[in-house]
Structure 1
């Protein structure tokens, strides 16, 4: 039953108005459920914008993610940072990476830095307001000191890895350039080897299901904040980057390219994870008082480092670029609070907005002294408003070999500079239209037979125009010729786009607007952010990190004493270097 229908039966007294403004009334078929909602966030790693089939691609299908999207609200303009460490920092702090020193590249496993310890995380805030907080999966916000790690940054429980990525089966991370290799998988603060040889997507899914089951059995007096950070579909170590179970691969034999076939299977296993999580919430009668969000941390890599054949088509660029393909995430959110379930929300929303927005849903007001950059968009999301003009600093990286930035205010986007000498500046990853998932012939029936669709329909009901929503969620870019638009050369001059009319960034309007207040005001604001930016926290690699010194475990090496055998090896290497230096002199 819609919120407005239910409230029409209730007198509009001050108490009800107060409850509505703090987001504490959840309506289920005419029944009020009090208390803070459970919040479950499922984050994919390096998933391309076009790699969920609710965007319209039939190359391979994601029926469970699609069912969540059509049942809830498709977030058509959710923006992230272009790489995973900055993006995850923005999610957990509600701040732009330039304001926390997290803006430059990512944390490589051997580097001794992390999210500053004086930053309050989303987990800190929710735990401080009565939530049980759990992180399943990837961290990637620092590991050189124990104090950087999840259970000392607000999470009651963590099962997963601390660094950038791991092998899907043995949970090892190899830093080939330095010759380092070690196991990186822990339960809270202890190395965990019991899952070796099991597929990591399944490990993390099972752990999330256990958390939901255990919460219902033991901790139901508290609401649950669960962040499920998947490895999928990020590439694994360079020697064997694409990994998927044989039973999953068998469904994609129609895809000729082996790498892309593996990628489709990796995404498919991720899609099934969403189904298992929704099933667990339904089984424990938690769905009706839960907010469920799915997103990716950034765009997918079609080319270059850790390339997987991910597609952000028809958006321009990819991961680690300032273009829409690097910073625009395919996302969907569901809650019985929403008045417009089964809709496409076009409001611009930044990943840093999720902290204050979800906090507002739980009736939590973050301390103003935190000085969040994120906006509380809960009311706009709840009622379907799309009129908030959002200013977003996507990236300002002055320390890169090629300084670059991307900034949006309203419909205007400024890009200056780029990455990788412009290698990622084009329109990448267009689908091979002849390779079509056989299930697409009965697409709507496929969606309606998923457990996600069936479980969410039980709770929220309502008609859904699946074909109409799928069409609305597509990004259409008109075919143009060179004569019909002005190219952008971001290494020569800034570029300006009307991102509403031109989401594919085909027509550079800089020459037309460069002397007007439109561009001058935007550029002045960019310069202000640049001047006030926190210096990057990045530090060079530290050879003391070598897992060989710590029983072949990636660990917080600045807090650890090396094992005896490893310590002897380390000293032997030092002695050899010393003797060589003496011989030279």
Structure 2
């Protein structure tokens, strides 16, 4: 080989190595469904979540990370970077028989990452509409999809009764997937995620793996060995729910073990977040926060979350209290990947805050604006304004007493009356005990004006009635696209 050829080879090898060093990081985005604030080990030492604890405590715990009150709105915000009231999904969730969906004119995070040559895969719960194939994951930027279109399925039979009708709801890409009947969904999802991890070459491809688990949404079901971890809890609902959290933790541990074994960890960003607060009437606990899932209280909207990376974070092993909202994940992750967000997003690139603990670029956010429920909430600085009734569980709910047999005894509905506005200082009163509306009229007026400005850009809620054409009896007993 001539000297010139040797020089050429050396330059080529250097360019290849440089390209590998510049390769965008792998992104693994894990969402837990209906996980309570007090249902993780770093908030509650009685919860057995060793895998999540290790990741959280060696990464950055996000203690002011806000989500939406229920499933569908959070997922829309996560994947679009817009508040639900700007995409028409601010009201409730998309039930199986309703032809609602995430509008096609919104470009999803998966599609943006595909443009950056990421390999994109989804495993888990979609819940953003499926009445037409064009609204399903493999038509919205994902190379593959294994999971469910809707929510509240049985963890073993994968049949949902989230509608007047029930039907089987499990897919592998577009095909109905019966092979997992009888298997607990957390195990199915972890196995599929590991298969994807093993199929990608982490040195030559960048992976975006979105894993929105079904766990720990009701129905409250778990293999007995996980429930037995909490045998000291006499309350059956709470005991089973806690077991579900530990089963989820084990599944995530199996996924991270695979990531380590395959060599992803040297260039990986892993995000974990809940999609809303925990439902106190189904075994979850948000103590000491007020409220529950499906409320505008902190207990319904403040999500347990952390970020982990072995190499990409400049500051780790601490609790970050900077203001962050679920809409921020879209521009933040796109920035990490080397992309650029379109103008007009509600989300803000918060990578400096996450990477090094810099002050948040966010000074306000919208909890939600729901013109059907006639309620809304916003945060401006330290102050939170609630308009209308915040929800159905408005009290403070400690974890159920071990000597109580009936969980509902401690989750009684608390009616707050017909207050039009409530004002709280979340910095000094994070548990929302003291309504300051009468004491601080000037602050109240200021936030009311802010809220009116936000309302001017509201897109009407897209919440059509159920359609009889959706009935699974027309699709061999399955929930299927093709009826809108």
Question: Where does residue 457 of structure 1 map in the other structure?
Answer: none
Question: Where does residue 204 of structure 1 map in the other structure?
Answer: 189
CA–CA separation in structure 2 for the residues paired with 1:387 and 1:210: 37
Shift of 1:545: 0.7
CA–CA separation in structure 2 for the residues paired with 1:554 and 1:315: 37
CA–CA separation in structure 2 for the residues paired with 1:37 and 1:519: 44
Q: Which runs of 5+ in 1 are unaligned?
A: 1-25, 27-31, 236-240, 436-486, 560-585
Q: Secondary structure at the match of 2:451?
A: helix
2:399 to 418, 424, 430: 430
- After superposition, the Cα gap between the structure-2 partners of 1:143 and 1:288, relative to the gap in structure 1 and judged at 3 Å, is same
- After superposition, the Cα gap between the structure-2 partners of 1:406 and 1:197, relative to the gap in structure 1 and judged at 3 Å, is same
CA–CA separation in structure 1 for the residues paired with 2:175 and 2:360: 48
Q: How many pairs does the alignment contain? A: 456
Q: Which runs of 5+ in 2 are unaligned?
A: 1-17, 405-413
Question: Where does residue 467 of structure 2 map in the other structure?
Answer: 542
CA–CA separation in structure 1 for the residues paired with 2:93 and 2:390: 14
Q: Does the 8 A contact of 1:302 with 1:429 survive in 2?
A: no
Pair 1:42 & 2:30 matched: yes
Q: Secondary structure at the match of 1:255?
A: coil
TM-score (norm 2): 0.91
Shift of 1:429: 3.6
Pair 1:398 & 2:371 matched: yes
CA–CA separation in structure 1 for the residues paired with 2:42 and 2:59: 12
Question: Where does residue 366 of structure 1 map in the other structure?
Answer: 341
- After superposition, the Cα gap between the structure-2 partners of 1:427 and 1:145, relative to the gap in structure 1 and judged at 3 Å, is same
Question: Where does residue 5 of structure 2 map in the other structure?
Answer: none
Which deviations, in whole Å up to 9, do the C-alpha atoms of 1:175-213 show, x marking residues without a partner?
46x2x1211000111100111111111000111111111
Question: Where does residue 483 of structure 1 map in the other structure?
Answer: none
CA–CA separation in structure 2 for the residues paired with 1:433 and 1:348: 35
Pair 1:150 & 2:75 matched: no
Shift of 1:382: 1.1
Q: How does 1:247-262 map to 2 (within 5 A)?
A: 247-262=225-240
CA–CA separation in structure 1 for the residues paired with 2:169 and 2:266: 36
Q: Secondary structure at the match of 2:418?
A: coil
Q: Does the 8 A contact of 1:64 with 1:271 survive in 2?
A: yes
Q: Secondary structure at the match of 1:248?
A: helix
Question: Where does residue 388 of structure 2 map in the other structure?
Answer: 417
2:209 to 226, 229, 233: 226
Question: Where does residue 40 of structure 2 map in the other structure?
Answer: 52
Which deviations, in whole Å up to 9, do the C-alpha atoms of 1:32-71 show, x marking residues without a partner?
942100000110000001000101x233321111111100
Shift of 1:367: 2.4
Q: How does 1:146-545 map to 2 (within 5 A)?
A: 146-175=133-162, 178=164, 180-216=165-201, 220-235=203-218, 241-303=219-281, 308-335=282-309, 336-368=311-343, 371-400=344-373, 403-420=374-391, 423-430=392-399, 432=401, 489=416, 491-514=418-441, 516=442, 518-545=443-470
Q: How does 1:129-148 map to 2 (within 5 A)?
A: 129-148=116-135
Q: Does the 8 A contact of 1:489 with 1:495 survive in 2?
A: no
**Greater helix percent: which structure?**
1
Shift of 1:165: 2.6
Pair 1:128 & 2:101 matched: no
Question: Where does residue 4 of structure 2 map in the other structure?
Answer: none
Q: Secondary structure at the match of 2:61?
A: strand
- After superposition, the Cα gap between the structure-2 partners of 1:186 and 1:71, relative to the gap in structure 1 and judged at 3 Å, is same
- After superposition, the Cα gap between the structure-2 partners of 1:70 and 1:331, relative to the gap in structure 1 and judged at 3 Å, is same
CA–CA separation in structure 2 for the residues paired with 1:390 and 1:37: 29
Shift of 1:80: 0.4
TM-score (norm 1): 0.75
Q: Does the 8 A contact of 1:544 with 1:557 survive in 2?
A: no
| Higher CA-based Rg | 1
Question: Where does residue 13 of structure 2 map in the other structure?
Answer: none
CA–CA separation in structure 2 for the residues paired with 1:137 and 1:389: 30
Deviates further, 207-216 or 322-331:
207-216
CA–CA separation in structure 2 for the residues paired with 1:273 and 1:189: 25
- After superposition, the Cα gap between the structure-2 partners of 1:386 and 1:431, relative to the gap in structure 1 and judged at 3 Å, is farther
- After superposition, the Cα gap between the structure-2 partners of 1:502 and 1:419, relative to the gap in structure 1 and judged at 3 Å, is closer
CA–CA separation in structure 2 for the residues paired with 1:262 and 1:381: 34
Deviates further, 259-268 or 241-250:
241-250
Shift of 1:390: 2.5
Q: Does the 8 A contact of 1:33 with 1:289 survive in 2?
A: no
Deviates further, 250-259 or 323-332:
250-259
CA–CA separation in structure 1 for the residues paired with 2:220 and 2:94: 22
Q: Secondary structure at the match of 1:61?
A: coil
- After superposition, the Cα gap between the structure-2 partners of 1:67 and 1:431, relative to the gap in structure 1 and judged at 3 Å, is farther
CA–CA separation in structure 2 for the residues paired with 1:222 and 1:168: 33
Shift of 1:528: 1.4
Pair 1:101 & 2:88 matched: yes
